[in-house]
Amino acid sequence: DVWVADWGHWLANLGDEPGVEAASVTIETAPDSGTRLRREVEHNVDEDAPPFSKAMLADVVGSYPAGSSTVKAFVAITFSAAQRSGSKKRKPDEMGRELAARLPGLTAGLQATGAGAAHPLSAQELCEVVRVAYDPAAAVLIDEAHAAGETPEVFWTDVGPSAAQASWDRYRHDSGTSCTWAMTQAPRGNVQSGVLARLLAPHRDIARKRITLLYRPIDAAKAAAIVEADLRAAEFRVTSTSKPAARDSLAVRAASATAQEEASGAGLVQFGMLVTATVMDLSKQADARAAIDNLAATARLRLRPVYGSQDSAFAAALPLGLVLPKHIKVPAELREKL
């Protein structure tokens, strides 16, 4: 509960950060190649140890990675290059100096949420993350290169797929095939801290799973007007009829609670979720889809495949800080009214 409260506080502070356009949190589960364990054992084994002990260690190194998984978490924050709306965009060097001064405070706040120590990804690390996402088979080669003390040469121009095919309900890219779902309804009622635990945990039927929470902080000056407008609209629906529906009465209580929390200092954010399941064998895609459907039910989420936009949704679920509304041709004023 303390971690959840600190996470809410961290999100609320994003609304006060100048220039923040959006933020995302990506939890990625993937099979462990075993190279890290093998490297650790080989570097610490005693040459004078009994042969039986060495054989036991070799057996553990060979069998333990089978079925084990790795879990990685990424946080991406997107900043605007313009100091204010309509002003001139700042140069990359200037933005780099400003972000270097602000990142320590942002990463320090993440430690209180249970995320542990966080560090910014280097350009090389980010290239490796994106490369493996589009070509899962490259994960073993990259891990083996790091185990040998080498740095794989991965450039930004090469991280995308060498070949890709976006279908109506799937996205095939290099050695993997993925399907991405979007959240259409968040959990309703009282939400406990562990509601997403099973969805975030590794699953045997899904080779690689990526859960991305998308946040767009609302400026504190606009948040008050938005929650008050929602409260007035909910109250109007109740008072406009002699027999209000139970759903409308519940909406009034929820809107009132939101307004009180905002007045007490809580932040207001627009949020969404993308779920991507990747398999390397096409015959296992049906099992992966069924697994996601079951996991969504346990998390009390309503997920829907992103039909017709699987390639865009796949990219949006990566820890790249993409802000999809910025790439839509529909005017922002019209989108906000929808």
Which amino acid type is present at position 83?
Q
Q: How confident is the model at residue 37, as a pLDDT?
A: 65
Say if residue 57 is exposed, middle or buried (CB neighbours under 10 Å; 0-12, 13-18, 19+). Answer: middle
Ramachandran class of 149: left when φ > 0, alpha when ψ lies in -120 to 50, beta otherwise = left
- Confidence band, pLDDT 50/70/90 cuts, at residue 61: low
pLDDT at 284: 92
pLDDT at position 335 is 61
What's at 230, amino acid-wise? D
- The confidence score (pLDDT) of residue 237 equals 87
Exposed, middle or buried, 49 (CB in 10 Å: 0-12/13-18/19+)? Answer: exposed
Kindly indicate the confidence band of residue 209, based on its pLDDT and cuts at 50, 70 and 90. Answer: very high
What digits encode the pLDDT tens for the residues 277-327? 999 998 999 999 999 999 999 888 999 999 999 999 999 999 999 988 888
Q: What is the spatial distance between Cα 212 and Cα 28, in angstroms, rounded to a whole number?
A: 9
**Per-residue confidence (pLDDT) for residue 338, from 0 to 100:** 56
If one compares 86 and 120, the residue with the highest pLDDT of the two is 120
pLDDT tens by residue, 224-240:
888 888 889 988 888 88
Strand partners, 209: 29, 277
Model pTM? Answer: 0.84
From start to end of the chain, where are the E strands?
A: 20-31, 69-79, 164-166, 171-173, 176-185, 208-217, 269-279, 302-305
pLDDT exceeds 60 at position 48: yes
pLDDT: which is higher, 163 or 333: 163
Give 311's contacts (C-beta < 8 A, 6+ positions apart): 164, 166, 171
pLDDT of res. 76: 93
- Percent of the chain's residues with pLDDT above 90: 33
Under the banding of pLDDT at 50, 70 and 90, the label for residue 23 is very high
Query: Residue written as tokens 């627009």?
Result: 270
What pLDDT was estimated at residue 163? 93
* 292 Cβ neighbours under 8 A, 6+ residues apart: 179, 181, 206, 275, 277, 303
pLDDT tens-digit readout, 172-204: 999 999 999 999 988 876 777 788 889 999 998
Task: Tell me how far the alpha carbon of residue 132 is from its chain's centroid.
Answer: 16
Instruction: Give the amino acid at 335.
Output: R
The mean pLDDT value of the chain amounts to 85
Proportion of the chain in helix, strand, coil states, percent, rounded to 5? 50, 20, 35
